[in-house]
């Protein structure tokens, strides 16, 4: 079936994209951009009444899925998946689908502007003034700092090059999404256990038994569409084989609810459980118990996790007896003080299961990456506080919203002389910046993205504008290059005429690198690159993880924090379709119900009905949530969630914006306000260690849920 789609859709891509045509006709760089034209004078590829399809890459999260955007009369109409793209193979998630609502968002910033920090009003600037402002900042490289998002894209490469040539500090990267995924911890543990700086790829498709320790791989984790495909294949294996999934976690995520079994373990005890399972497995397999698993006391582990020893034994048996067992660490399990150890223990289970590099086991996704750890953010904050940063460039990241209040980032910003935000929307950070030089949104810009997690082959995904820029925005890469060009010291090293030139130079090595298409020279390669949505290898070239430790390491796995029953609660923050919060201004993301609760347009706090009854709280009551040892409180509306541990409450991330436009502002709460600023061994925020108390406020507010309030809990309960 998918073959047919691809043929049909590719016919419609009509060979060559907008800019490719311009390049082929030999025009100068300026005409690489689409020029605004009247409807009566549309270019020939924009036939009235006929759709034109462009391949590009989704910029809503770092997964880098390939898109095909249907355009008509110069408008982006509908986002569809690129059927040939190795990550998503024609599929697309809610976030990608709503990216046109970002493109055409009425709350976008129309052009470069200057403002007094914190003041919503602003003065417009010209791009010349903007470039010279950037130039001022860049001319003093030691005193600059870059804060970027997680995308491994061309901007990151350019900034990295800039810092390498000038000796400026390397760009700092942060995204709350990365924190919620436990990305840094996973990468650090993977390096420790498997020896490389590569993301492990967990091959669900052929696994018999999957033990999932907290990864929300069907929702937001690393590359949800790639993992959803794996999930499907796992359920539909040959000869009717249907893999068995066990999910561990204090809160049942959508991913966990699609597992066959959900084990509600105490937050922070996942590592102990993994170790215990390892010990049981090793024993059942008749192996000598490796040092990694030897130290754990089964009974203690079961007690700490809040499950029975019998259950633990049973799980161990399940894992040991399966032909292809797989263990996945991620999410809330990794964002604790023992997250790093937990990740190692879980990755160690895979070594024990002997599945490295085997179908249904663990592979390494092609492409190395550096961790984006909280330590770097902390260093940046320190630099700011020390007055070492004169100019701070912020792109693709909204630190005011995404970082815990306790880190003091906002305070540190006061010491920075010039803050330049490249945000296309008035987000919280853009509001406290001196300048906002809005970048294009993903569907208007050029670029590429190196894919690091969800692909089985080396992949560069191409980004091209599918429509003319809606506003007077300018690509950040162009701004930086234009500024650099005026600085002799830089222009010598950063010898790129503009963004497209930069991209072409960067991808020129791919021409002969053996992708699924070849070309003799750049223009042809470029046109195919744009047409197909990127470049990738013909066949899978997974890396095989090494067993770097022989499971000889011993882990010092602390038992999880104890809570006073009925008074203190573990707080789990989970990611939703809002991603790192930037989805909140897409009305259809707001209106698409949360899969588990069907709540729309707001935040909620999930609480077990028994807990709520104990506290005298009803559905839709507003409660005040106070972190233990903290003073910031937030108020959230209670959702009685039957699939959560009674000693745990959970809040989704992404709402609670104080800026970001009409659909995002003043809606819900931001749990980052409660997070502790401590980090674990891998430099990850230990957000899942947050303990809170709950106080009813006596107020109510019905959540905008799609479900009925009664009758949905099955027979008997309601």
Partner 1 sequence: MAADAKSLLNGRKTAHVETEAEELRKEHLMLDPMPRDEMNDMVMEAMTTTTKTYWVWVIGFGIAVAVLLFGAWGYMIATGMGVAGIRRPIYWGIFIVTFVFWIGISHAGTFVSAILRVFKAEFRRPFTRAAELMTTFGLAAGAIYPLVHLGRVWVFYWMIPYPNARWLWPNFRSALEWDLLAITTYLLSSTIYLFLPLIPDLAMARDRSTGIRHFFYKTFALGWRGTEAEWTRLRKAIGIFAFAIIPVMFSVHTIVSWDFAVGQVAGWHSTIFGPYFIIGAILSGVSAVVTILYVLRKTLKNMDYFIRLEHFDGLGKLILIFSMAWAYFFFNEYLLSWYGGEAAVKQVLTLHATGPTAWVWYLMLICNVAIPWLFLWNKKVRRTPWLMFIITLLVNVGMYAERYTIIPLTLGHQRSPFDWGIYNPTIVEVSIALGTLCLFIFLYLLASRAIPLVPVWEVQEGQMAHSIRKVGKTEVPSVTELE
Partner 2 sequence: MAELLKEQEETQKWGMVIDMDICSGCQACVTACSMENNVPFVGEDEMAYGRGLQWMRIRRYWEGEYPEVTPTHQPMLCQQCGSAPCEPVCPTFASVHSQEEQINVQVYNRCIGTRYCANNCPFSARVFNWFDYETPAPMNSYLNPDVSVRRRGIMEKCTFCVQRIVHGRQQAAAEGREVEDGDIVPACAQACPTDAIVFGDLSDPESKVSKMSRSDRAFKELEELGTQPKVIYLKGGKSYGG
Site for partner 1 in 690-709 (CB under 8 A): 706-708
Contact criterion met (CB below 8 Å) for 280 and 313: yes
Q: Using CB distances below 5 to 8 A depending on partner kind, what does residue 8 bind out of partner 1, partner 2, none?
A: partner 2
Q: Using CB distances below 5 to 8 A depending on partner kind, what does residue 98 bind out of partner 1, partner 2, none?
A: partner 2
Pick the closer one to partner 1 by CB: 119 or 717.
717
We find the least distance from the C-beta atom of residue 448 to partner 1, in angstroms, to be 44
We find the least distance from the C-beta atom of residue 709 to partner 1, in angstroms, to be 8
We find the least distance from the C-beta atom of residue 707 to partner 1, in angstroms, to be 5
Q: What is the spatial distance between Cα 271 and Cα 178, in angstroms, rounded to a whole number? A: 20
Burial class (CB in 10 A: 0-12, 13-18, 19+), 123: exposed
Q: Using CB distances below 5 to 8 A depending on partner kind, what does residue 100 bind out of partner 1, partner 2, none?
A: partner 2
We find the least distance from the C-beta atom of residue 572 to partner 2, in angstroms, to be 16
Burial class (CB in 10 A: 0-12, 13-18, 19+), 458: buried
* Residues in a beta bridge with 606: 639, 650
Site string for partner 1, 655-694 (x = CB under 8 A): ----------------------------------------
* Residues near partner 1 (CB under 8 A), total: 6
We find the least distance from the C-beta atom of residue 393 to partner 2, in angstroms, to be 28
Pick the closer one to partner 2 by CB: 133 or 253.
253
The alpha helices in 29-149, defined as continuous H runs, are: 94-97, 99-103, 127-138
Q: What is the spatial distance between Cα 430 and Cα 444, in angstroms, rounded to a whole number? A: 20
Closest to 423 (Cα-Cα) out of 441, 446, 449, 403: 441
Pick the closer one to partner 1 by CB: 43 or 593.
593
Q: Using CB distances below 5 to 8 A depending on partner kind, what does residue 46 bind out of partner 1, partner 2, none?
A: none
We find the least distance from the C-beta atom of residue 717 to partner 1, in angstroms, to be 12
Q: Using CB distances below 5 to 8 A depending on partner kind, what does residue 705 bind out of partner 1, partner 2, none?
A: partner 2
CA of 544: how far to CAs of 198, 262, 540, in Å? 10, 30, 12
Pick the closer one to partner 2 by CB: 276 or 470.
470
Q: Using CB distances below 5 to 8 A depending on partner kind, what does residue 75 bind out of partner 1, partner 2, none?
A: partner 2
Instruction: Considering only residues 326 through 345, tell me which ones interact with partner 1, judged by CB under 8 A.
Output: none
Q: Using CB distances below 5 to 8 A depending on partner kind, what does residue 710 bind out of partner 1, partner 2, none?
A: partner 1
Pick the closer one to partner 1 by CB: 46 or 596.
596
We find the least distance from the C-beta atom of residue 697 to partner 2, in angstroms, to be 19
Q: Three-class SS of residue 162?
A: helix
Q: Where are the beta strands (DSSP E) in 119-278?
A: 123-124, 144-148, 172-173, 200-202, 209-213, 244-248, 261-263
Q: What is the CA radius of gyration of the chain?
A: 25
Pick the closer one to partner 2 by CB: 152 or 646.
646
We find the least distance from the C-beta atom of residue 587 to partner 1, in angstroms, to be 17
Pick the closer one to partner 1 by CB: 666 or 711.
711
712 binds partner 1, rule: CB under 8 A:
yes
We find the least distance from the C-beta atom of residue 598 to partner 1, in angstroms, to be 8
Q: Using CB distances below 5 to 8 A depending on partner kind, what does residue 103 bind out of partner 2, partner 1, none?
A: partner 2
Dihedral sign for Cα atoms in the order 277, 283, 284, 288:
positive
Q: Three-class SS of residue 378?
A: helix
Q: What is the spatial distance between Cα 546 and Cα 180, in angstroms, rounded to a whole number? A: 27
Contact criterion met (CB below 8 Å) for 168 and 142: yes
We find the least distance from the C-beta atom of residue 269 to partner 2, in angstroms, to be 14
> What count of other Cβ atoms lies within 10 Å of the Cβ of residue 698?
8
Pick the closer one to partner 2 by CB: 75 or 614.
75
711 binds partner 1, rule: CB under 8 A:
yes
Pick the closer one to partner 1 by CB: 41 or 715.
715
Pick the closer one to partner 2 by CB: 72 or 317.
72
Tell me the pairing of strands 209-213 and 325-329.
parallel
* Residues in a beta bridge with 218: none
We find the least distance from the C-beta atom of residue 594 to partner 1, in angstroms, to be 14
Q: Using CB distances below 5 to 8 A depending on partner kind, what does residue 45 bind out of partner 1, partner 2, none?
A: none
Q: Using CB distances below 5 to 8 A depending on partner kind, what does residue 219 bind out of partner 1, partner 2, none?
A: partner 2
CA of 85: how far to CAs of 200, 234, 270, in Å? 20, 20, 35
We find the least distance from the C-beta atom of residue 651 to partner 2, in angstroms, to be 18
* Residues in a beta bridge with 652: 574
Q: What is the spatial distance between Cα 207 and Cα 260, in angstroms, rounded to a whole number? A: 14
Q: Using CB distances below 5 to 8 A depending on partner kind, what does residue 601 bind out of partner 1, partner 2, none?
A: partner 2
> What count of other Cβ atoms lies within 10 Å of the Cβ of residue 252?
22
Tell me the pairing of strands 52-57 and 172-173.
unpaired
Pick the closer one to partner 2 by CB: 152 or 661.
661
Q: What is the spatial distance between Cα 271 and Cα 300, in angstroms, rounded to a whole number? A: 12
Q: What is the spatial distance between Cα 718 and Cα 422, in angstroms, rounded to a whole number? A: 50
Residue from 3, 310, 710, 717 that binds partner 1 (CB under 8 A)? 710
Instruction: Considering only residues 229 through 248, tell me which ones interact with partner 1, judged by CB under 8 A.
Output: none
CA of 68: how far to CAs of 317, 404, 455, 466, in Å? 46, 36, 18, 9
- Contacts with partner 1, residue ranges (CB under 8 A): 706-708, 710-712
């Amino acid at each position: 079936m998918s073959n047919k789609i691809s043929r049909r859709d590719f016919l419609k891509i009509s060979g060559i994209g907008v800019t490719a045509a311009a390049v082929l006709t030999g025009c100068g760089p300026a005409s690489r951009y689409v020029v605004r034209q009247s409807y009566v004078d549309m270019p020939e590829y924009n036939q009235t009444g006929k759709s034109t399809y462009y391949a590009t890459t989704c910029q809503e999260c770092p997964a880098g899925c390939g898109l095909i955007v249907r355009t008509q009369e110069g408008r982006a109409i509908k986002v569809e998946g690129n059927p040939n793209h190795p990550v998503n193979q024609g599929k697309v998630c809610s976030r990608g689908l709503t990216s046109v609502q970002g493109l055409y968002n009425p709350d976008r910033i129309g052009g470069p502007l200057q403002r007094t920090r914190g003041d919503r009003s602003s003065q417009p600037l010209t791009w010349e003034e903007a470039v010279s402002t950037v130039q001022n900042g860049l001319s003093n490289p030691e005193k600059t700092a870059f804060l970027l998002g997680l995308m491994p894209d061309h901007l990151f490469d350019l900034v990295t090059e800039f810092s390498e040539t000038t000796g400026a500090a390397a760009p700092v990267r942060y995204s709350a999404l990365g924190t919620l995924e436990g990305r840094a911890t996973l990468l650090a543990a993977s390096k420790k256990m498997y020896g490389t700086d590569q993301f492990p790829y967990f091959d669900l498709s052929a696994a018999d038994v999957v033990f999932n320790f907290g990864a929300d791989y069907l929702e937001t984790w690393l590359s949800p569409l790639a993992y959803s495909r794996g999930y499907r294949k796992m359920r539909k294996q040959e000869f009717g084989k249907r893999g068995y999934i066990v999910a561990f976690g204090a809160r049942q995520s959508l991913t966990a609810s699609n597992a066959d079994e959900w084990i509600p373990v105490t937050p922070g005890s996942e590592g102990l459980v993994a170790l215990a399972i390892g010990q049981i497995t090793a024993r059942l397999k008749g192996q000598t118990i490796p040092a990694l698993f030897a130290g754990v006391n089964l009974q203690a582990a079961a007690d700490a996790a809040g499950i029975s020893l019998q259950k633990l034994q049973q799980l161990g048996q399940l894992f040991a007896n399966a032909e292809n067992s797989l263990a996945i660490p991620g999410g809330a399990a990794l964002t604790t003080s023992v997250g790093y150890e937990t990740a190692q223990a879980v990755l160690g289970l895979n070594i024990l299961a002997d599945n490295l590099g085997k179908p249904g086991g663990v592979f390494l996704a092609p492409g190395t990456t550096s961790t984006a750890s909280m330590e770097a953010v902390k260093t940046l904050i320190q630099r700011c506080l020390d007055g070492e940063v004169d100019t701070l460039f912020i792109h693709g990241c909204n630190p005011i919203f995404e970082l815990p209040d306790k880190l003091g980032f906002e305070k540190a910003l006061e010491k920075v002389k010039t803050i330049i935000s490249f945000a296309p929307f008035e987000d919280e950070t853009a509001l406290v910046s001196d300048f906002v030089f809005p970048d294009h949104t993903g569907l208007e810009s050029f670029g590429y993205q190196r894919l690091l997690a969800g692909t089985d082959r080396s992949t560069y995904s191409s980004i091209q504008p599918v429509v003319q820029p809606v506003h007077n925005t300018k690509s950040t890469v162009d701004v930086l290059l234009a500024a650099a060009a005026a600085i002799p010291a830089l222009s010598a090293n950063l010898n790129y005429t503009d963004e497209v030139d930069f991209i072409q130079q960067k991808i020129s090595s791919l021409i002969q690198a053996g992708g699924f298409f070849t070309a003799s020279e750049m223009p042809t390669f470029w046109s195919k690159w744009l047409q197909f949505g990127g470049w990738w290898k013909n066949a899978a070239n997974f890396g095989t993880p090494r067993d770097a430790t022989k499971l000889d390491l011993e882990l010092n796995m602390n038992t999880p924090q104890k809570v006073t029953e009925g008074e203190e609660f573990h707080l789990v923050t989970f990611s939703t379709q809002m991603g790192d919060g930037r989805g909140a201004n897409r009305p259809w993301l707001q209106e698409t119900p949360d899969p588990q609760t069907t709540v729309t347009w707001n935040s909620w706090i999930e609480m077990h009905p028994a807990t709520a009854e104990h506290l005298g709280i009803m559905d839709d009551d507003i409660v005040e949530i106070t972190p233990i040892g903290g003073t910031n409180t937030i108020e959230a509306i209670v959702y009685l969630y039957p699939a959560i541990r009674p000693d745990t409450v959970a809040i989704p991330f992404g709402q609670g914006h104080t800026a970001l436009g009409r659909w995002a502002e003043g809606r819900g709460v931001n749990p980052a306000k409660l997070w502790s600023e401590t980090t674990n061994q891998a430099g990850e925020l230990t957000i899942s260690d947050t303990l809170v108390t709950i106080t009813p406020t006596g107020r109510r507010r019905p959540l905008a849920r799609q479900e009925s309030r009664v009758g949905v809990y099955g027979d008997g309960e309601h």
